[in-house]
Structure 1
């Protein structure tokens, strides 16, 4: 058996085989290991659907690549992957569902996915077996369809072998060990015995530079071998196959195959199968499976049926396709399919170890396999993928995630496959879990919470009895007026926001200053000052946004996005580990949960703090002379020692009050009392998002990511080109392919008023030229506002555009950055 390679891929399902294929295509010597036979996991019982519909920009690219890639496999390998391009008809029973499709259609436009709109009459005329009289309409993907999972996997396997990949079956991976800077993969050879696979007693070791795991339902076992837990856990998925339907058989004598039918409001898909129908429901109460790991005896097996659980969905199929009522059942399946808490797979580096990659948690593995292989191979061989893969990164889940959380959220995720996916969606399972000491006080004040990294964070504040779930919409939901009032409060008076979920890292030691100077592109601040800066990827794109507070010459407090706590800590620690021998000791500590953050903002914020500050001269303690903008001071607010940072994401005079988390309740009450004479209220994340757009502040994960450089993102003022820093040469070599700009625009008004959400297509002279990455409403200008990317020649203030909002185009215009207070006079306000 071969014992040396550059990369070892563990798992012979569709995802693993695609990764092996694309690594081999990139020229890497690759070995793929499979415990049983190729496709023996979830691949064999997958329905093989290829849905292009997805609200995620990155996942849409992955799915699109898969479909195009599969089309070319037969020409390359001689094996037919069994691709049937029948289209996909996604029906809507409600106006809200049609709005979901309208919002999605703009994302599809930016990715290049073709869609067509259909009326109920068009549906009935084209497919008379489908009842359409109670539908509002549908969206059709003509390029969609389904594929044979086993055939496409075998075709990719043949292609991989032709490119030099070695595929070894009947070997079980039992461990990974770091040895002399390389990975040693420990394998046990397996044999058949009594219908089971058991170790033969023979073992081997394979040495490699990189390991990729694509082990499907076995993901938890695999991750545990490197001391990691990931929330990839199977959920039971049932589907049934009917006997031939005489009406369908007769229809097919003169008509082509139906598209894959999806009645999202009824929570199912249906497609033709040998003259009958396959029904795949996504019902409530489907349980997680193998919570503590897949049994050793489990192979290409199925689980116990519970058809009563899908009775409602079965009856709704009969309603939608009346001819199916008299057709008997031919086959039924209940197989495990892996899920994650948010439905996105885990694709990218494993935390804590070098050159180890996960490709786990695929609930739509056949659809995603081709694109995952392509983009993950780019990450591994080129340093970064051409699309931003942050939303799929395994490190978006921190160490606080455990099995109970994964089981609860994955069950919810399965149930939510066809639930309306509002952009302001907040799922309720496993909440509240992570709360700050101010949580109950904020709740009593009317906070409607969202969650970030498991933390409860106020989205907005509403009166008692307000229904947050009912307020969600693809247009202006019931929460909109409250967010507008909060934004006005901050612009005109003073507001308080719980920003405790911010990720916080302490980086100190003899090598800390040189390390951060190399890792980030801006100048390091002086002691007592702060700087906004960026770390780059090896490809010269934005890896991380950070606010650096310099506490001492060799001591730094680094604040990053709350959702990126584990993501950023792993990055800092791995980069520091590689530099310690050269620069000296660098200590990296995650201190997120040690420090709470209460942000106070607005022209009256200084007056509120002045009533609390303990200082020999309270009247001047907060003046520009003693406490200038972009500086840090350690101050006492009553009895609470506070690291106060004069910065505000809202663009107003403001302060972030970093404090010992155990004192938050005290500080919160003191601030509320001090704020009463000044009319202080609370504001949430939605109002804050609108206000940061008015200042053109880019947000990590939407406007900033690993698919654009700081130069393309409009961050030139935060780049010190006079120094060397990680990714600088790659950034310069990349050039400027697009530019991030601020856009003011019109949109639907009246009862159907809607604002951009940050996924809309932009047009110039009728041609799609770019896309929004974030959007909302500007209280200051009274117009819709967004940030987005355009070709450099169009990224000029005054450029006239059109924006696609709810499937209609509206006038838009590129404006100068920071349409609110461009001189930053309000941030520098003295007093």
Structure 2
């Protein structure tokens, strides 16, 4: 039978991820083909341990894992093939209270997804699993419905299911080229043959015409990226695990007892599961190296790396400590294979940057766990325009063009090492930092700045003490109120009561100009366009009518617009905007788009005394008039001079106080910083970090992209009706209106524990019913209570509605407030002077 050469979707890669994608696309009715260069499962799938852990601190990834685990349990009935799923559960142990704090935060997130879990005491563990030593444990969390699976079997079951739904699977074809014709992809593939144990290219070639292409090439992600002309951080890291001979105590235990759950001693950095009367030990040790930064050699097939058992000696000894009987079991086998990683440990799932109809599914460090859910949600994105959950946290464009090979290697090694490191919500990982710094970085550091990293930029999170820096643990982090908390309180109060300055240089900034710019933006965004010299807040939507990007638009001239969006999403926004401009240039007229993020620094000056600081510095005939409501109204932009620096000043403040964003030439930033600090000295100017700003914006109910705003909710569900002009036509409008209101965004004041605030991952309850989830959390200096924002059932989004928030296993009282509970009339923002 001749090979097909025309398909709607071509999937490249025949591991667990690729076969799942082919299954779900075919099930959705798309004509689908899968190409595999070798045999199915011949990549990292074949040597995977097959674990299916629910545990994950990300909302989207938790959904993906949950879908996989439920989906795999249906495969045998559908396909007739047993995927080898051993539903033994998963016991994650804790040696410290901090580890239990991590589990409690995770558990609240898991509740929002509907993931079942149980809590065990050390006595419970000892009673159920007497081979496990428990005298130094604090407790554990048990997932009773997951376990482990045979990677080859589940892949073959999904492959059969894909064929049953009409997909074609071709083995021994290697893709050697991708060409976009403007309408479809021409994908060149070469027949691979085996000679002398090696896989080599033959003279037989074929060109496949595909409307969409998905790459799921695993260890070969670097080769794929080179063929596509893009950069990817997906690079493999070595992972060792060992298999023991039978443990006599375990063999005796199994005569009258079921299997142990998969055991994880997170503080010792390993997992263990039973294997034929013995144990499989998988450590995540320090100093595991990244390999093949420029691509896997052609000769590397189902191969392994040389062992380095000394590297995992500490983890092996801790395994014997936790399961003492294992000391009597000799080593039977050992593996050291490649696992693909990314700098943050999450896979790359979604559109390829700069390319049309090209989709990536690469960089899976937990590929078996994620395969089923990735296929499901990626197929939704491709066939319906968007997934039912927000997949932005996995989007390949979250890593910008500044990302290099060395950066990817070092960060991937760090991500591997951090698999079992405590996942603090206020964690800042140190590798490859500082890398991108604003000119005033050293000045802020000298004033106690403690930095976080956003899109590679160093951004102050808070400012520590200068009087006793050696006594302050600047690396302190916690699941409760860390050592930084008091400093953030001081900074937040400074803006509420006096004046503070925030470095907002990391903002993403674009300039769009040309005869077609106004008509394009009017179609592209939901709000009315501002007049010249004015600004507005607006949203671009997905095809599904949900929120794709938030923009502050400054109209500099009739045909010139300055667009500001979230700093963490520069490449994500730039790619989306550039594709839209290119698509519509013939409809609306000539336009020119420039990503000018690196050209402009930004200082946000805010607080009741912000005008006083600027008045002492502005160069104008009448400084008082120049900064008054008449001379500089709220939600307007003016070009002003501060000292010798030309500034595009925007009268807006993300903190909800009187304030300005001061957009300035990057090369003049240090001069401006020094002048602002000097002028601010008389007015008590305080440097403020991102954590205090995050609290302040919640007091004003300002939604943030990546938390309240995302691809799983419309602007109307987010409560942003005032920024949506329903009298005009705009992209995504019909889909938005058809979606209706499934849930509503609300702000809550919370009476939580004395030593903790919510982080924005917690479940919300009304009585015994789970009714929503928090997306942001923190502390309110204005109300002296914890605060949070999130989504609830529409009938509960009424001010005064009592709810409860799950924190530290307990339910704490909360109340839905009016939108913008602090200064709801915006009197402070509009203050004149």
For normalisation by structure 1, the TM-score amounts to 0.99
3-state SS of the aligned residue for 2:795? Answer: helix
Counterparts of 1:562-711 in structure 2 under 5 Å? 562-711=567-716
- In structure 2, distance between residues paired with 1:540 and 1:246: 60
Q: Which residue of 2 aligns with 1:123?
A: 125
- In structure 2, distance between residues paired with 1:434 and 1:273: 47
Q: Which residue of 1 aligns with 2:734?
A: 729
Q: Which residue of 1 aligns with 2:494?
A: 489
Given the alignment, which residue of 44, 48, 55 partners 2:50?
Answer: 48
Please, which runs of 5 or more residues in structure 2 have no aligned partner?
A: none
Q: Which residue of 1 aligns with 2:406?
A: 404
- In structure 2, distance between residues paired with 1:434 and 1:506: 21
Alignment pair present for 1:525 and 2:495: no
Q: Which residue of 2 aligns with 1:333?
A: 335
Given the alignment, which residue of 232, 241, 244 partners 2:243?
Answer: 241
Q: Which residue of 2 aligns with 1:350?
A: 352
- In structure 1, distance between residues paired with 2:581 and 2:419: 40
Moved more, 118-127 or 461-470: 461-470
Q: Which deviations, in whole Å up to 9, do the C-alpha atoms of 1:560-612 show, x marking residues without a partner? A: 00011000000001111110111111211110000000111111111111111
Q: Which deviations, in whole Å up to 9, do the C-alpha atoms of 1:237-287 show, x marking residues without a partner? A: 000000000000000001000000000000000000000000000000000
Q: Which residue of 2 aligns with 1:39?
A: 41
- In structure 2, distance between residues paired with 1:257 and 1:467: 47
Q: Which residue of 2 aligns with 1:823?
A: 825
- In structure 1, distance between residues paired with 2:182 and 2:670: 50
Q: Which deviations, in whole Å up to 9, do the C-alpha atoms of 1:315-355 show, x marking residues without a partner? A: 00000000001211000000000000001100000011110
Q: Which residue of 2 aligns with 1:746?
A: 751
Given the alignment, which residue of 472, 476, 479 partners 1:474?
Answer: 479
Residues 597 and 659 in structure 1, CA contact (< 8 A), matched pair in contact too: yes
State the shift of 1:766 in Å.
1.5
Number of aligned positions between the proteins: 828
- In structure 2, distance between residues paired with 1:226 and 1:821: 51
3-state SS of the aligned residue for 1:620? Answer: helix
State the shift of 1:465 in Å.
2.6
Counterparts of 1:71-110 in structure 2 under 5 Å? 71-110=73-112
3-state SS of the aligned residue for 1:491? Answer: helix
Q: Which deviations, in whole Å up to 9, do the C-alpha atoms of 1:71-116 show, x marking residues without a partner? A: 0000000000000000000000000000000111100111000010
Q: Which deviations, in whole Å up to 9, do the C-alpha atoms of 1:772-825 show, x marking residues without a partner? A: 110100000111111111111111011111111111111111010111100101
Alignment pair present for 1:309 and 2:290: no
Q: Which deviations, in whole Å up to 9, do the C-alpha atoms of 1:522-580 show, x marking residues without a partner? A: 00000010000000101010000010000111110000000110000000011111101
For normalisation by structure 2, the TM-score amounts to 0.99
Q: In 2 relative to 1, CA 141–667 (structure 1 residues): closer, same or farther, beyond 3 Å?
A: same
3-state SS of the aligned residue for 2:133? Answer: coil
State the shift of 1:735 in Å.
0.5
Residues 525 and 539 in structure 2, CA contact (< 8 A), matched pair in contact too: yes
Q: Which residue of 2 aligns with 1:68?
A: 70
- In structure 1, distance between residues paired with 2:303 and 2:478: 42
3-state SS of the aligned residue for 1:619? Answer: helix
3-state SS of the aligned residue for 1:83? Answer: coil
State the shift of 1:619 in Å.
2.2
3-state SS of the aligned residue for 2:562? Answer: strand
Moved more, 147-156 or 609-618: 609-618
Counterparts of 1:85-234 in structure 2 under 5 Å? 85-234=87-236
Moved more, 220-229 or 722-731: 220-229
3-state SS of the aligned residue for 2:831? Answer: coil
Residues 448 and 468 in structure 1, CA contact (< 8 A), matched pair in contact too: no
Given the alignment, which residue of 267, 270, 288 partners 1:268?
Answer: 270
3-state SS of the aligned residue for 1:539? Answer: coil
- In structure 2, distance between residues paired with 1:286 and 1:199: 33
Residues 464 and 474 in structure 2, CA contact (< 8 A), matched pair in contact too: no
3-state SS of the aligned residue for 2:625? Answer: coil
State the shift of 1:470 in Å.
4.4
Residues 543 and 706 in structure 1, CA contact (< 8 A), matched pair in contact too: yes
- In structure 1, distance between residues paired with 2:441 and 2:182: 48
- In structure 1, distance between residues paired with 2:471 and 2:521: 46
